Structure 1
Amino acid sequence: MTRPDYAALEAELSGLLGARGVSSDMRQREKASVDGARMSPIIAELLPLGIADLVAFPTTADEIAAVVAAAVRHGVPITPRGRGTGNYGQGIPMSGGLVLDMSRARTIHDVSEGAITADAGAPMAALEQAARATGQQLWMYPSTVHSSIGGFLAGGSGGTGTIAHGSNDGGFVAALDVVTPATGADIAHVEGEAALGYVHNYGTAGIIVRATVRLEPLQEWRGLYASFPDFSGALAVLRTLGRLQPLPRLVSADTPHVTAQLPPDPAFPAERSSLRMIVDVAALDEAIAVIEGGGGRIEDVREGPSVSSDISVLSYNHPIEWLQKSEPGVYFHVEVSGDALVERIDEVHAVYPGGQLHIEAGHRAPIGMLAGVYESPEAVLAGIERLGELGVGVHNPHQWNVDFRLAETVELAALTDPDGLLNPGKLNPAYAGPTKGAVR
């Protein structure tokens, strides 16, 4: 295959975006070609997976579309990138080509009743701030609060707000503006089921350039920090706390060992299990009563606009990331769910050496991240089988393949990207799911 003329594409993009809007500098290319994949020891063993030949920095949705059209004309693969906060290689340009860095396309266009519209690179924290100014809040708020809206929708699956709403795959997205090789420089507007076709598939069927997502009325939140002598105490109250009315935005807890690795905070006393809540002020007294009735101790109650962000950044896989930082090269993790996380915790912890669970109240059942000492990919898969026998739902994140609506995405991409230029290597029709072919 003839190598694309990257010099010609760079010249064209320089005319479109200005000299600072495109780069072939090696430092820029290397920076744009990594994400948080080192969080996975399985993927880390395979790095580097690819490096960009060019990086483009459009600042508007129209510029994003024009860059995509230019790259397609030159036959150049395109890997979309938001803030680079993904953890498993989905944003790494495995075929080289152009990395489309959309982090400068940050305009928030409209905040209306029940919805907010912004360009793909707008940080989620900025959307939340804009919503608050109108007496509203985001329906779903990510654990990585500075991730971009486009990156969160294309790559993420849930966040703060999951208790009430489930994952972001459903009602969070009202409409998307997308660009594909088939549309050229034209932007397509999609809603409903059509919009869902571009969610959580890493830009393999189309690149989100602008999004309209759902808002809800602003609630008066408090950040509630509690601790228990051991993890079993936190587990015993977690589901009850997750059902309080109004529903909390987040309830999460960690073992004493994981708690000890979190950033220093007086609310994390030594040798105790931490439990944290984003709780509606109307349910605060009841939450305190449940915690104290279960043998817990209230460490602090905090208020202010940063409550959600401060506690959100210690949810989802972030506590396990702090655990990994404290002992580099030791731990891996898998995503887990189900009541067995509470009812059979000793057996769950025993599946992997050094087992440590971060747990959260979920939409229907607890969810969490189970960490263990990494031995081999085969040991990871064997543990997944054992967890399934215990009644634990498991997703193995140590792979970069699209695994949400795979068949539908393959079918859509055949129409929107017939030459396979969008994020090559990530849409694998033969991918067999989280327990087969998920690790290498």
Structure 2
Amino acid sequence: MTPPDYARLEADLREQLGPRGVSGDIRQREKASVDGARMSPIIAELLPLGVADLVAFPTTAEEIAAVVGIAAAHGVPITPRGKGTGNYGQAIPMSGGLVLDMSRARTIVEVGDGFVTADAGAVMNALEQAARATGQQLWMYPSTVHSTLGGFLSGGSGGTGTIAHGANHMGFVAALDVVTPASGGTLVHLDGEAAQAYVHNYGTAGIIARATVRLEPLQDWRGLYASFPDFAGSLSVLRTLGRLTPAPRLVSADTVHVTAQLPPDDAFPAGRSSLRMIADPAVVAEATAIIEAAGGRVEDVREGPQASPALSVLSYNHPIEWLQKSEPGVYFHVEVSGDALVDRIDEVHAVYPGSYLHIEAGHTVPIGMLAGVYESPAAVYAGIAELGELGVGVHNPHQWNVDFRLHETVDLARTTDPQGLLNPGKLNPAYDGPVKGAIR
């Protein structure tokens, strides 16, 4: 097969995007060819790394579509990219080709009653601010507040807000405008169930260029910071706090050791386990009483529009990232769920000696990230099996293959991407990892 003519492709892209809209500079190409996969020592060891041959920077959904059409006409692999905050190698161009950097396509098209429509590169925090200006808020909010809308929906994430709504993006996503090689550079509008086929699949069946997601009435959140002498104290109240009405946006807690690795804050006193809430003002007094009755104390209650994002960025996998930064090369993590995280915590920690759990109240059961000392892939997978025997649900984050509706995505991609140009290497129909499926 004749290799792609990248010089010709670059010329065609420059004609479409202008001279600043495409780059062949090696520094730009290398920067656009990595994401947060370093968080996994297994991925870091095994992932076939690639470097983009070109990087394109469209500024609108329509330009995103045009770029896909041009690259597909040249037979060039296309790897979509938002801010590169994913942790599983989704944005790494394993086959080289074109990295489609959508971070400049930031237009918020419309904020309506119960919805917001924006181009794929709009960051989630900007969407939240736009919603607040109309008396609304995002129905689901990410832990990485500067992630892009397209990246958040295309990746495997859940988000803050799952206590009330669960991790079901089907409730969050109302409509998508996607582009595929088969659509020839034209946006395809999809509503409802039809749109869900393009969520969580890393752009392997179609690239999200614009999205409409759900809003809900604004709540005046408080950031409540509490602490306990030990992790057992935090665990003792986590589920109770998560069931308060109105539901909190977040309840999360860390061990004493992990708390010590978080960014310095007077609300994280030394030698104590941190428990944090994004709480409705109506439940702050009740939450305080619950915490104090269990032997804890409230360190601070903070108001204002930054109360929610300040705690969101200390949720999901972020505390474990701080742990990894404090002791480089030591820890791996697995995503976990279930009441056993509270009821059998000593057994859970014993699965991986020297491990630490970050825990959050979930929609139905606690969820979290368990960090263990890394020895080998075999030890990680053996521990996953042990956790299952304890009643812990586990999602294996140490692989880069689509593992949500895999076979449906494979079938769809046969029609939308018959040449296999979209994010090649991420859609292996034979994937049969040790554990699959989202927990959030």
- Which bracket does the TM-score occupy, shorter chain normalised? over 0.9
- Conservation of the 8 A alpha-carbon contact between 2:47 and 2:89: no
Report how far residue 434 of structure 1 moved: 4.1
Equivalent-residue separation in structure 2 for 1:417 and 1:45 (angstroms): 29
- Conservation of the 8 A alpha-carbon contact between 2:335 and 2:397: yes
RMSD, aligned α-carbons: 0.9
Cα deviation 1:159-186 (Å, max 9, x = unaligned): 1101011114320000000000111121
Equivalent-residue separation in structure 2 for 1:79 and 1:301 (angstroms): 43
Distance change >3 Å, CA 434–CA 213, structure 1 → 2: farther
Q: Which residue of 2 aligns with 1:330?
A: 330
One-letter amino acid matched to 1:388: G
Q: Which residue of 1 aligns with 2:72?
A: 72
Cα deviation 1:242-301 (Å, max 9, x = unaligned): 000000000000000000000000000111000000000011111111111111111000
Count of equivalent residues: 436
Equivalent-residue separation in structure 2 for 1:48 and 1:339 (angstroms): 37
1:228 partnered with 2:210 = no
Equivalent-residue separation in structure 1 for 2:370 and 2:120 (angstroms): 31
One-letter amino acid matched to 2:89: G
Cα deviation 1:1-40 (Å, max 9, x = unaligned): 3210000000000111011100110000000000011111
Equivalent-residue separation in structure 2 for 1:182 and 1:47 (angstroms): 28
One-letter amino acid matched to 2:83: R
Equivalent-residue separation in structure 1 for 2:30 and 2:342 (angstroms): 43
SS in 1 for 2:118: strand
Q: Which residue of 1 aligns with 2:341?
A: 341
Structure-to-structure mapping, 1:255-334, within 5 angstroms:
255-334=255-334
Report how far residue 156 of structure 1 moved: 3.6
SS in 2 for 1:375: coil
Q: Which residue of 1 aligns with 2:38?
A: 38
Equivalent-residue separation in structure 1 for 2:236 and 2:30 (angstroms): 46
One-letter amino acid matched to 2:115: A
Report how far residue 44 of structure 1 moved: 1.4
Q: Which residue of 2 aligns with 1:189?
A: 189
SS in 2 for 1:194: helix
- Conservation of the 8 A alpha-carbon contact between 1:140 and 1:168: no
Q: Which residue of 1 aligns with 2:399?
A: 399
Q: List alignment gaps of at least 5 residues for structure 1.
A: none
One-letter amino acid matched to 1:184: G
Q: Which residue of 2 aligns with 1:176?
A: 176
One-letter amino acid matched to 2:423: N
Q: Which residue of 2 aligns with 1:160?
A: 160
- Conservation of the 8 A alpha-carbon contact between 1:123 and 1:149: yes
Report how far residue 407 of structure 1 moved: 1.0
Identity %: 81
Report how far residue 47 of structure 1 moved: 5.5
SS in 2 for 1:182: helix
Q: Which residue of 2 aligns with 1:416?
A: 416
Report how far residue 353 of structure 1 moved: 1.8
Q: Which residue of 2 aligns with 1:371?
A: 371
Cα deviation 1:343-385 (Å, max 9, x = unaligned): 0000000000211000000000000000000000000000000
SS in 2 for 1:237: helix
Segments of 4+ moved more than 2 angstroms: 433-436
Report how far residue 45 of structure 1 moved: 1.7
Equivalent-residue separation in structure 2 for 1:394 and 1:435 (angstroms): 7
Q: Which residue of 2 aligns with 1:110?
A: 110
Distance change >3 Å, CA 47–CA 435, structure 1 → 2: closer
Report how far residue 199 of structure 1 moved: 0.2
SS in 1 for 2:170: coil
Equivalent-residue separation in structure 1 for 2:303 and 2:29 (angstroms): 42
Say which is worse superposed, 304-313 or 425-434, in terms of deviation: 425-434
- Conservation of the 8 A alpha-carbon contact between 2:170 and 2:193: no
SS in 1 for 2:203: coil
- Conservation of the 8 A alpha-carbon contact between 1:395 and 1:434: no
Equivalent-residue separation in structure 2 for 1:434 and 1:262 (angstroms): 31
1:359 partnered with 2:359 = yes
